Amino acid sequence: MLHKFAKFVVSCTVLLILAGSLVTSHDAGLSVPDWPTSYGWNMFTFPPRLWVANIFYEHGHRLIASSVGFLTIVLTLWLWLKDPRPWLRWFGVAALGAVVAQGLLGGMTVLLLLPPAVSTAHAALAEIFFCMTVAIALFTSPGWMRGHDGEADPNGNPGPFLQRLATLTTILIFLQILVGATMRHTGAGLAIPDFPLMFGRVVPDHWDAGIAIHFAHRLGAVVVALAVLTTAICIWRRHPDRAELAQPALVSVLLTIVQLTLGALTIITRRDPWINSVHVVCGALVLITSLVITLRSWRVKFVAGVPHAENGEVAA
Amino acid sequence: MRQRNVWMGTVAIAFAASVVACGGGTPSNTSAPPSAPAATPAGQKVDTAVAGKVAGTVLVEGTVPKNDPIKMNADPVCVRENKEPQFQATYVVSSDGKSLGNVFVYVKDGLGNYVYDTPTDKATIDQKNCRYHPHVFGVRVNQPIEIINSDPTLHNIHALPKGNSEFNTGQPIQGMKMTHTFDKKEIMVPFKCDVHSWMNAYVGVLDHPYFAVTKDDGKFELKDLPAGTYTIEAWHEKLGTQEVKVTLAEKESKEVTFTFKAAAPTTTNN
């Protein structure tokens, strides 16, 4: 039950990331100029008839964020009361701290009039919090508690190479998202306006800060795609029978293909708000898929010396 | 070695400073340095009895692009308040298509040390029918600007200056008013409404009274100018800026013409 609730929190966080990216894509971040109030109203009593135009996105984002914050409180309490693993309890507290900090950062973006550094930090912490909720869902899953088939065989365990490769891939994806967030919040999303060429060339013939950030994001996309593919091939060749690794590897490759397509479409459509926003969400999904692979590849080290819950389930 | 690095760093900083000081950034279109009336003592007021005038017209050549249509359906109140199709006010041209409105014309340089009383009367920008009125206007440094919401819907007024302080304030109730001042001169300060993304306006903030905004006949007048040589600039939100140099004797009136090209902004010197 705890695991199902954690998955529900993950789903709500996906919705929250979509709502947040829609705010940026519609340039609606300052459409409600005050915080934590909304045009002087308490956020929860702000009349729906006033949720017009861009306020719909900004106020909707605040309400969904508040809901996710509440759900995280419940999740943390639940972990604290029912999970036997102290480190996971504290991890839940850390997730709660992250979502509170994220709310404060969101408020700062409004009160400080969207300084790029704060907005980018808000985007980065969103990804970190999302990863934390996914990790909690994974740590409370039957597969994690019970162990996966093949793990008992020492030869079947992912070696240090895959562990490091998966970790590196996850870090690269996170860095790529950071560059993307910087690009969005510095208004460099169309600094290079054509695709696949750049100003009609393979490499831009002139540079400024926006072009450099945009170029870094395109270059990062190639690096991340190669890293994801390399990790997947490594898993499929060395551990084809380990479904808990092979399946997310396939998902990560498919999501990366979709993500590259969405990135191209974002430019071709001149940053259509919905395509741009789904691009952000898909990036987050690529990240957590890689995170799941990474954590599963390290599972043996995680659970070493820790007593398993009976029947592979946390009492809940 | 460390001392050598310090010296090299000092030389590099000095070089960078000299480039900045010499205007190593944007090239200037003016051919001669501004000629401030050297004889004007600091703190002197303009003697309007002997002052002159610069008047003129802003013209546009080429095919002027059509103004972008505005879709207001994100806010039912805006739809209700506007029965006719709405378009941006970027290009306001006369019926013959030759003269250009919404151009901010002002004395950019040459006024020297004259001083002017800060007006106490308020300039006004009104949010009415989900549009800003006026779209382009000018104010003086520290002159109060009254911002009004005449609409039965909410707006936020968000100013995005580069030299002055940015602000963003909500006006959720019809009839709300607020007053703001800018304390530095700046050409131009954009206003936007983040709720209704089509709403935009521009204000020029100056430390003197010599500015005007053209209507669709393209005409403007800068009255009570003392004798001197001036750089006069015309600013348009899409077509850029143009400058002319004018030398004015006492009580003299001169006519100048700015001609913008719809394809690309150019500079003319009369």
Q: Where are the domains of chain A?
A: 1-140, 148-316
- pLDDT of B9 > 70? The answer is no
For residue B266, being part of any structural domain is answered with no
Distance CA B267, CA B233 (A): 10
Residue of B153, B169, B170 lying closest to A52 (CB–CB): B153
Q: Is residue B238 part of a domain?
A: yes
Cβ contact A1:A316 at 8 Å:
yes
Query: In chain B, which among 57-96 make CB contacts under 8 A with chain A?
Result: 74-78
Q: Which residue of A has its CA nearest to B193?
A: A31
Among the partner-chain residues A33, A55, A56, the one whose CB lies closest to the CB of B168 is A33
What are the b/e assignments for B54-82, b being 16+ CB within 10 Å?
A: bebbbbbeeebeeeeebebebbebbeebe
Residue B83 phi, psi dihedral angles, 5° rounding: -75, -35
pLDDT tens over chain A, length 316 residues: 999 999 999 999 999 999 999 999 999 999 999 999 999 999 999 999 999 999 999 999 999 999 999 999 999 999 999 999 999 999 999 999 999 999 999 999 999 999 999 999 999 999 999 999 999 999 999 999 888 766 666 655 678 899 999 999 999 999 999 999 999 999 999 999 999 999 999 999 999 999 999 999 999 999 999 999 999 999 999 989 899 999 999 999 999 999 999 999 999 999 999 999 999 999 999 999 999 999 999 988 777 655 454 344 443 3
Partner residue opposite B172 with nearest CB, options A29, A39, A54: A39
CB within 8 Å: B77 and A52: yes
Count: domains in chain B = 1
In chain A, whose CA is at the least distance from the CA of B153? A50
Q: Which of B75, B76, B158 sits opposite A30 (nearest CB)?
A: B158
Please state, as a whole number, how many other Cβ atoms lie within 10 Å of the Cβ of residue B88.
Answer: 18
Q: Rounded to whole angstroms, how far apart are CA atoms A300 and A245? A: 13
* Spatial CB neighbours of B193, under 8 Å, sequence gap ≥ 6: B127, B132, B155, B156, B157, B158, B199, B200
One-character DSSP codes across B74-86: TSHHHHHH--S-E
- Chain B residues touching residue A39 (CB < 8 angstroms): 154, 170, 172
B194–A113 CB contact, under 8 Å: no
Which domain covers residue B77, as residue numbers? Answer: 39-261
Confidence of residue B43 (pLDDT cuts 50, 70, 90): confident
CA-based nearest distance B75→chain A, Å = 5
Give the count of beta carbons closer than 10 Å to the beta carbon of residue A17: 24
Which residues make beta-bridge pairs with B124? B146
What tokens appear for A29 in the block? Answer: 């971040």
Stretch 103-162 of chain A: residues touching chain B, C-beta under 8 Å? 113
Which pLDDT tens digit goes with each residue over B227-257?
Answer: 999 999 999 999 999 999 999 999 999 999 9
Does B24 score more than 90 pLDDT?
no
Q: Would residue B223 count as lying in a domain?
A: yes
State the pLDDT at residue B263.
Answer: 72
CATH number at B120 reads 2.60.40.420
Write down the pLDDT at residue A85.
92
Is the CB of residue A313 less than 8 Å away from at least one CB of chain B?
no
**How many CA atoms within 13 Å lie on the side-chain side of A237?**
7
Compute the mean pLDDT over every residue in chain B, rounded to the nearest whole number.
Answer: 86
pLDDT at A156: 58
Subunit contact A53:B75, Cβ cutoff 8 A = yes
DSSP secondary structure code for residue B31 in this structure: S
In angstroms, what separates the C-alpha of B5 from chain A's closest C-alpha?
Answer: 28
Residue length, chain B? 270
Please say if the pLDDT value at position B226 is more than 50.
Answer: yes
pLDDT at A155: 59
Asked whether residue B27 is assigned to any structural domain, the reply reads: no
A233 in Cβ contact with A226 (< 8 Å): no
CB pairs under 8 A between A and B: 53
Distance CA B167, CA B192 (A): 11
Which of B154, B166, B196 is closest, CB to CB, to A50?
Answer: B154
Residue B130 lies in a domain: yes
- Decide: residue A208, CB within 10 A, 0-12 exposed, 13-18 middle, 19+ buried: exposed
